[in-house]
């Protein structure tokens, strides 16, 4: 491994192509940390946005007018405003109103850090799209299937959990995956509130080493590969989960 890393140092000396995140242990750690922060942020947002989607779709089927109205309002508000401004609004406007806690150095720090706010804000953003996706999936389940389950004595929650959702999940998968891929791309916005994800760490490295070109090209390729792998995996999954004879 070290031989390969050293080769990149030689490459720098010979050609001037500077890739410090390969030969310099400190920069390498930063880049790896950034990569895993991006992955972690994506996974957290993925989980909560799907959760918001499932719960929201269930609430939209509620018989209370105001529940439906509030869910609709949430969807429209989050779909039609820029995610970056939402992030700022959460982090700066709401974040400053929350109480602070004492940190290890005796100072005051906000109760939720930038990572938490990025996760909250992006989950709400992606969740707004997921609600509609799940709801249209639920509506694709025929009424007769639900009635059959009712006749077998399933409760409302059981029907939703054991009959409607598994069927709906399969048809919504392509639309859902599309949204989740978008979510992964949107995690770069967390850069704006200094979450140390991949773009932020790359920025740190190019600020220290003045190698903007190399870092920029690496970053583009890294995201291209990351998203490409994700899309490929999702497509395989879609094929595996497809309902035979449908669509």
Partner 1 sequence: MSYKTDLPVMKPFKPREPEPLLGFRPWHIVVIALLVFFGPSLAFAQAGVPLLTPFAVLLDWVPLLLQGFIFNLAISFLAMALGTALGTLLGLGQISLSRATRGVSWFLTQFFRNAPWLVLLFFAMFLLPFEINLLGVSIPFPDWFKAILGLSLPVMANVSEIVRGAVRSLPSGQWEAAESLAYSRRQTLWLIILPQCVKRMLPPWMNLYSILTMATVLASIVGVSEVMTLTGQALAAEGGRPELLAPFYGFVLLLFFAYCYPIARFTVRLERKFAVIN
Contacts with partner 1, residue ranges (CB under 8 A) = 65, 68-69, 72-73, 75-77, 79-86, 88-89, 92-94, 96-97, 131-133, 135-137, 139-142, 144, 167, 171-172, 175, 185-189, 191-192, 199, 212-213, 216, 219-220, 223-224, 227-228, 231, 243, 245-247
- Rounded to whole angstroms, the Cα distance separating 176 from 170 reads 10
Per the CB < 8 A criterion, the answer to whether 185 and 24 are in contact is: no
- Rounded to whole angstroms, the Cα distance separating 21 from 205 reads 8
Of 10 and 217, nearer to partner 1 (C-beta) is 217
Q: How far is the CB of 232 from partner 1 (least distance, A)?
A: 11
Q: How far is the CB of 56 from partner 1 (least distance, A)?
A: 11
Any bridge partners for residue 100, and if so which? 110
Of 19 and 172, nearer to partner 1 (C-beta) is 172
Of 24 and 132, nearer to partner 1 (C-beta) is 132
Reference 130, options 55, 48, 53; nearest CA is 53
Q: How far is the CB of 81 from partner 1 (least distance, A)?
A: 5
Q: What angle do CA 95, 98, 101 make, to 5 degrees?
A: 105
Burial of 88 (0-12, 13-18, 19+ CB in 10 A): middle
Q: How far is the CB of 163 from partner 1 (least distance, A)?
A: 12
Q: How far is the CB of 114 from partner 1 (least distance, A)?
A: 14
Of 149 and 172, nearer to partner 1 (C-beta) is 172
- Rounded to whole angstroms, the Cα distance separating 148 from 135 reads 20
E-state strands within 84-158: 100-102, 108-110
- Rounded to whole angstroms, the Cα distance separating 45 from 53 reads 12
Q: How far is the CB of 29 from partner 1 (least distance, A)?
A: 21
Of 25 and 79, nearer to partner 1 (C-beta) is 79
Of 4 and 93, nearer to partner 1 (C-beta) is 93
Of 15 and 80, nearer to partner 1 (C-beta) is 80
b/e sequence 130-169, b meaning 16+ C-beta within 10 Å: bbbbbbebbeebeeeebeebeeeebeeeebbeebbbebbb
């Amino acid at each position: 491994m070290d031989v390969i890393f050293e080769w990149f140092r030689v490459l720098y000396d010979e050609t001037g192509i500077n890739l410090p995140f390969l030969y310099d242990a400190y920069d390498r750690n930063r880049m790896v940390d950034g990569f895993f922060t991006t992955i972690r942020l994506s996974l957290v947002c993925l989980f909560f946005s799907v959760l918001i989607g499932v719960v929201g779709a269930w609430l939209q089927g509620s018989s209370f007018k105001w529940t439906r109205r509030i869910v609709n309002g949430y969807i429209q508000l989050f779909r039609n405003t820029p995610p970056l401004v939402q992030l700022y609004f959460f982090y700066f406007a709401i974040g400053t109103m929350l109480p602070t806690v004492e940190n290890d150095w005796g100072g005051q720090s906000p109760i939720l850090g930038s990572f938490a706010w990025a996760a909250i804000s992006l989950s709400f953003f992606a969740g707004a799209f997921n609600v509609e996706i799940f709801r249209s999936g639920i509506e694709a389940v025929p009424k007769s299937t639900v009635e059959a389950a009712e006749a077998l004595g399933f409760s409302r929650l059981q029907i939703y959990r054991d009959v409607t959702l598994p069927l709906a999940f399969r048809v919504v998968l392509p639309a859902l995956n599309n949204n989740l891929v978008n979510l992964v791309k949107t995690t770069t916005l967390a850069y704006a509130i200094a979450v140390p994800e991949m773009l932020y760490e790359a920025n740190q490295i190019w600020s220290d080493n003045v190698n903007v070109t190399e870092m920029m090209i690496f970053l583009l390729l890294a995201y291209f590969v990351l998203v490409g792998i994700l899309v490929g995996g999702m497509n395989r999954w879609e094929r595996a989960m497809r309902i035979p004879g449908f669509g």
